[in-house]
Amino acid sequence: MEKELTKIETIKTKTKNAIPSVFTLSNMACGLMALLSVSKEQYVVACYFIIGSYIMDILDGRVARLIGAETEMGIELDSFSDWLSFGIAPAYMIYEFALKEYGIVAYPVVLIYVICGALRLARFNLKSLSGESSKTFFQGLPIPAAAGVIIFFVLSYSLLEDDTPTKMIKMLSKQMPFIYGIFPFIMIGISLLMISSVPYVAMKSQKAFRVKSPLGIIVTISIIFFIVFYPQNALFLFFLLYALSGIIYFLYRLFFKAQENG
């Protein structure tokens, strides 16, 4: 009788631990579908598959914490999925969409992004397993944020190519050709930020969404307005500003430390 109860408990535990993996594998599936879409030059479709990966990536962690099914296996599997969906897929997409015209010069740019993404995920795993990770700040730009810069640039530029400027923020639409031209440098920048020690606010942290001041409320409402009416542009700017925010905060801390020491 005890053996049967033990078997039942084991089955329950394995089933519970497998539930978050369904979302993790769905993340991986979306990444693969994004790659296949890029191979058919369906860049917008590929972007939406990667957005699907974002949704699955958020859900797998939330579900795992909700049911108490966080495991080392899940952490490793999540990283493999993220590397495919937010590392390899966006790199291949931006190569086909904008970088291949640079010829052989584009190869190291794409390679650096993929390698830095892998290193970023490996470091995150080591910190998580050793209990050294912070719940309020990330060390280095998270790979989903780096991918966000790429996919929402592609979506924004696609609006310009489709001749739908009414759906774009006018100021940004004028700058799109310039951003397109410097995107190899943007790629190198976000790649190096992933492996840097620059601190980034953890967006999953509840503290990141606390809005108390009137100014904070106005800013929040403005962001929601732009996301509703100009989703591609607004989210591109959001991820770009988030990438820059870590540098600003890092320099801000250095400045005040220098003043204290002075």
pLDDT in tens, 25-40: 999 999 999 999 999 9
Structural domain for 43, as ranges: 14-261
More confident residue, 85 or 68: 85
Q: Does residue 7 form part of some domain?
A: no
- Token pair, residue 255, equals 């400045």
pLDDT tens for 186-212 read 999 999 999 998 999 887 655 555 556
Given pLDDT bands bounded at 50, 70 and 90, which one contains residue 260? low
> Does the pLDDT value for residue 226 go beyond 70?
yes
Residues 6+ apart with CB under 8 A from 135: 202, 205
Give the number of domains in the chain: 1
Q: Does residue 4 form part of some domain?
A: no
More confident residue, 101 or 221: 101
> Does the pLDDT value for residue 229 go beyond 90?
no
pLDDT score at 32: 97
Q: Does residue 173 form part of some domain?
A: yes
The CA distance from 76 to 86, in Å, is 15
Indicate which CATH number applies to the domain containing 159. Answer: 1.20.120
The CA distance from 155 to 163, in Å, is 13
Q: Does residue 47 form part of some domain?
A: yes
Q: Does residue 92 form part of some domain?
A: yes
pLDDT, average across residues 227-232: 84
Q: Does residue 2 form part of some domain?
A: no
Residues 109, 110, 115, 120, CA torsion sign:
positive
Q: Does residue 3 form part of some domain?
A: no
pLDDT tens for 104-140 read 999 999 999 999 999 999 998 888 777 767 777 888 9
Q: Does residue 211 form part of some domain?
A: yes
